Every structure is written in structure tokens, then in C-alpha cells.
């Protein structure tokens, strides 16, 4: 039962209706018997700074941050973690007595979800997208000592800024160069929002996919066209569900100091997506 003692968690984004984080976290809160409530907060771009102020004023103990604010929100925080600073993006905020600390648990979540595929350390990876989640993925791949990471984005300015930040060792190519680059790739990652909405096409023509190419799509709220295409040709694949769970578990630990049941979180989400 919600009372005056109930502490609030939440997620900031725009739009926010696609997020499964409230379902996942509230299920864990109930299972663990904690006096917490996790709420979705749809925040328009013009209201972001005021939303951050509200986290302080209302004593919200922590929030997740999703599209499109993972990078823009950094300037409103008091301090950010080493990983978040390298990435230039935050997806988790912890409120400690009115001071807001930013973390990037996407880094941890992606690495945990794909660790079996990159254990050899000699993989070539091609990734579409240069946004906040792409930066977290890039850093985790670099720290895993992969052989080569190539990225591309339809926004050439964003791609240029990406390569001039903490990721100078990354090769940045233009969209028309993707067919040439994917030939030598062992792993293909979609780190764009393409596929999130019903009816979205794949971010890459299926003729460029191969059976020996591991396909990873960060989208988790539906089976995307990219995943369907990978299935059809018998390629190994993964969606963003495990990444969502692992990053969420890390966020929960930062907020509460408690380790949530990861397998239970996965079951909750898989049941909801069915």
C-alpha cells in the first residue's frame, strides 16, 4: 500500500509508453517487499531541466533516463561516474540528499548480455547508431578488447562528434559504406531506435545478412524486422531484453543497495511481451 513513507523511483523520457521498466521494477519491488513505487515520467524536451529539479524537490530517490535524454541530462547533474563521463551519457540517476549522481548501467547491461559472444576478443563489430546507448556499447566493446569496431549513423555530425570524443580508435563510416563493412563483420548491432514502433522496417537490407553473422538489436519491446530477417536465414541473434534486465538490475542495486532477482525480472518481461 502506498503511504507517506513510500519512496519513489521512476524513468524520464519522451515518449515513455514503450518502456517496460515500470513493469519490471514494480514486480521486483513487490517480490522483495520494499516500500517503493516506480513511475514513468513523460517529459517534453523544454521541461527537462525542471524535471531534474523535481527529482531533487520531491526527494525521488532515483530515476532511469531513456530516449532522448541520456546525453542532454548530464549537464544538470552534480557528479557522474567514470564510465558515464567516458561515454558522455547517463541512464541512471541516484539522489543522495539532494545531490544527483549519474551512472551508465547500459555499459554493464550490454557487456553482461553479450559476454559469451566476445570472449575470444578478436571480433570485428559493425554498429549502426551513435547515440547514448551506442556510446555505452562502444566503451564496453573497447574494454573487451575486440579486434575492430566500425560505426555508422545517418546523422553525420553526430557520427563525427562520436569519433572525436572518447572513441577515437573507432572507425566511422557513412551509410553507403555499410555493405562493404558488413562483409568482414562478425557481429552486427542495431543501436538506433529503428524497430521500436510497429511497422518499422529493418535498419539494414536483409540481403547483407549472413548465417555466420551474429545479429544484436537493442530494441526489446517487440520482435523487430531485423530479428525476423536474422531468424529466416538461420543467423544467431539476440534482442535487447537481457541488456534491459541487467542494466535495470544494476540501477536497482545503486538505488537500494540490494541485488534484485535477475531471473525473475526476465520472466516478468518475457511474460509481458507474449
Which residues participate in catalysis according to the annotation? Answer: 70
**Which residues make Cβ contacts (< 8 Å) with residue 155, sequence separation at least 6?**
130
| Residue 52 neighbours by CB distance under 10 Å | 21
Closest of 248, 241, 247, 243 to residue 267, by C-alpha: 241
In degrees and rounded to multiples of 5, residue 101 shows phi and psi of: -110, 130
Measured distance CA(129)–CA(136) in Å, rounded? 11
User: Can you say how many angstroms the Cα of residue 6 is from the centroid of all Cα atoms in its chain?
Assistant: 28
User: What's the CA gap between 221 and 17, in Å, rounded?
Assistant: 10
Q: Rounded to an integer, what distance in angstroms lies between the CA atom of residue 172 and that of residue 38?
A: 38
For residue 141, the surrounding DSSP H or E stretch is helix 132-143
Amino acid at each position: 500500500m502506498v503511504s507517506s513513507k513510500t519512496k519513489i523511483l521512476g524513468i524520464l523520457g519522451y515518449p515513455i509508453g514503450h518502456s517496460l521498466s515500470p513493469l519490471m521494477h514494480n514486480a521486483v519491488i513487490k517480490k522483495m517487499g520494499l516500500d517503493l513505487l516506480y513511475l514513468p515520467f513523460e517529459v517534453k524536451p523544454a521541461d527537462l531541466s525542471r524535471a531534474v529539479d523535481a527529482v531533487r524537490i520531491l526527494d525521488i530517490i532515483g530515476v532511469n533516463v531513456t530516449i532522448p535524454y541520456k546525453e542532454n541530462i548530464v549537464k544538470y547533474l552534480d557528479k557522474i561516474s567514470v564510465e558515464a563521463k567516458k561515454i558522455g551519457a547517463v541512464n541512471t540517476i541516484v539522489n543522495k540528499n539532494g545531490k544527483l549522481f549519474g551512472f551508465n548501467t547500459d555499459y554493464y547491461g550490454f557487456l553482461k548480455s553479450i559476454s559469451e559472444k566476445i570472449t575470444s576478443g578478436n571480433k570485428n563489430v559493425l554498429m549502426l547508431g551513435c547515440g547514448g546507448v551506442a556510446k555505452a556499447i562502444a566503451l564496453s566493446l573497447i574494454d573487451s578488447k575486440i579486434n575492430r569496431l566500425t560505426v555508422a549513423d545517418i546523422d553525420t555530425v553526430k557520427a563525427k562528434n562520436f569519433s572525436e570524443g572518447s572513441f577515437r580508435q573507432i572507425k566511422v563510416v557513412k551509410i553507403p559504406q555499410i555493405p562493404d563493412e558488413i562483409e568482414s563483420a562478425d557481429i552486427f548491432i542495431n543501436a538506433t531506435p529503428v524497430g521500436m514502433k510497429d511497422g518499422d522496417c529493418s535498419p539494414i537490407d536483409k540481403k547483407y545478412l549472413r548465417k555466420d553473422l551474429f545479429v544484436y538489436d537493442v530494441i526489446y519491446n517487440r520482435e523487430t524486422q531485423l530479428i525476423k530477417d536474422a531468424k529466416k536465414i538461420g543467423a544467431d541473434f539476440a534482442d535487447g531484453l537481457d541488456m534491459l534486465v541487467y542494466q535495470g538490475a544494476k540501477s536497482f542495486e545503486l538505488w537500494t543497495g540490494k541485488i534484485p532477482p535477475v531471473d525473475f525480472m526476465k520472466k516478468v518481461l518475457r511474460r509481458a511481451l507474449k
